[in-house]
Every structure is written in structure tokens, then in C-alpha cells.
Amino acid sequence: MINPHRVLGVALLVSSRGLRSWSVYVSSLLSTFWFLVVFYILGGVKLVPHVLVGALVSSVFSGCAHSAVYDAYYGLIGLRDAFLASPVTSFEFRVGVALGHLFPSLSTAVVYAATLLLLTGAGPLDVLVLVLLVMLLWALGVSIGYLVPSKDFMSAGPKISLVTRILTLLPPIYYPSYVLPELVRPLAYLAPTYNISEIIKMMLNVEAFNIDRVVLCLILLVAQCTAIFVAVRKKTYTAE
């Protein structure tokens, strides 16, 4: 059975390294500010919540996807072996590393989420659903990061960055889906990040609530998560 104290110990050790890289999070805030200015000029204040949703999704998903790189790095330098020589299990170590990347990501994600909730006048239930969706983003980011094929941790980093950019910049996450040509809009549903962002937008009335679209996003999201988590489990089992 997983021990939360051991997981938290690993997470705090890993997150302390991430929090020292403050320039990364300042860069994220500056990039989001640039997006806000550009989209405000193009479409006015109505596009501001879309940018905040995009920034929230991107900061959590992209930051956590790189936990696979550091898991491999810690294995290379022997830190993982040092932990595994203690009562910490392999699964606890990996969960700890993943949580250790979530904690620093929250430094910017909380800013985006708080601003978004204030702009939309969200209620307690909306906040709860948003927290659950952020945790799902974390799990998806970590899982997809582990699925990216690579020979070593040095080659994994650029590949994971490419995948996260594709899944956060190509789908209409930072902007409304009606901007895309109608013919290509259905392709956006292939990205789990898009389905999560659409649920957030409709939940917070950033976009008009449509029960059919919510159900479609949920069905596709369940199928995508199941396929990804099964693939991760299969890869882990093969590696062991």
C-alpha cells in the first residue's frame, strides 16, 4: 500500500529544485501576458478568459510531463537507487517525482485559476470541479511524458516539449474553437487537453454551456485517459 508520507518526502525534495528555477515561472507569466495583450488587441476582453484557461492547462500539463525526464535523470545519478534502498517503493518514488513537478507548476497555475475564477464569478462547485480537472491534467501530463519514446533523459526533454506544445498550442485552448475553419474543428477533440479546456470553459461560462458538447468531451476524455493509462501500465510492466 502506498505511503503518503514517503511520497510527500520525495515530492518536497524534487519540488525544492523546481522552485529554485524561478526564471521558468517568470517566463511563463510573461508569455501569458503577451498572449493576453495580443488576443485583447485581436478580439477584445471576451478573449481574456480563453487565454487564462489556456495558460492554466499549459502550465500544469507541460510542467508535469517533464517529470519523466527527471525520473530518468535521478536514475542515472543514483538518487532513485538511494531512495529504493530505503522503504520507498518504485511506484511511490515515481508518484513523488510527479507531485514534485506539480507543486512548482501551481505557483503560476494558481495565479491563472484565481484570476479566471474572479473574472467569471465562479461558485464553490466550480472551484471543486476545476481542482479535479487540474489533477486530471497532472495525471495526463505525467503519463504522456512517460510514453514519449527516448533513448536517454537528454533526448527525452526536447521530444516531450514538442508533444506538449502540439497538445497545448495547436488545439483551440488559448482561443475559442469558432476561430478555426469548421471543417477542421472536429480534429481538436483528438487532444485530451482540448476536451478538458472545453469543459472548463463551459463550466465557467466562458463559452455557452452545451450539454451535448460536455457529454462528447467527457466520453472522449474517458476513452483517451483509459487508453493512455493502460499504455503506461503496459510500458511499466514491460520495463519491469
Q: pLDDT digits over 136-150, tens only? A: 998 998 888 888 876
Query: For the chain, how many residues are written?
Result: 240
Residue of higher predicted confidence among 175 and 92? 175
What cell was used for 64?
A: 508535469
CA distance 200 to 122: 11
Domain ranges (residues) in the chain: 4-239
Return the residue matching grid coordinates 510514453.
Answer: 147
3-class secondary structure for the chain? Answer: CCCHHHHHHHHHHHHHHHHHCHHHHHHHHHHHHHHHHHHHHHHCHHHHHHHHHHHHHHHHHHHHHCHHHHHHHHHHCCHHHHHHCCCCCHHHHHHHHHHHHHHHHHHHHHHHHHHHHHHHCCCHHHHHHHHHHHHHHHHHHHHHHHHCCCCCHHHHHHHHHHHHHHHHHCCCCCCCHHHCCCCCHHHHHHCHHHHHHHHHHHHCCCCCCCHHHHHHHHHHHHHHHHHHHHHHHHHHHHHC
How much of the chain exceeds pLDDT 90, in percent? 38
* Distance linking the first and last C-alpha atoms of the chain: 19
pTM for the full predicted model:
0.84
pLDDT category at 115 given cuts 50, 70, 90 is very high
Residue 228 φ/ψ, nearest 5 degrees? -70, -45
pLDDT of residue 16: 65
Please state the rounded mean pLDDT for residues 153-175: 85
CA distance 163 to 65: 9
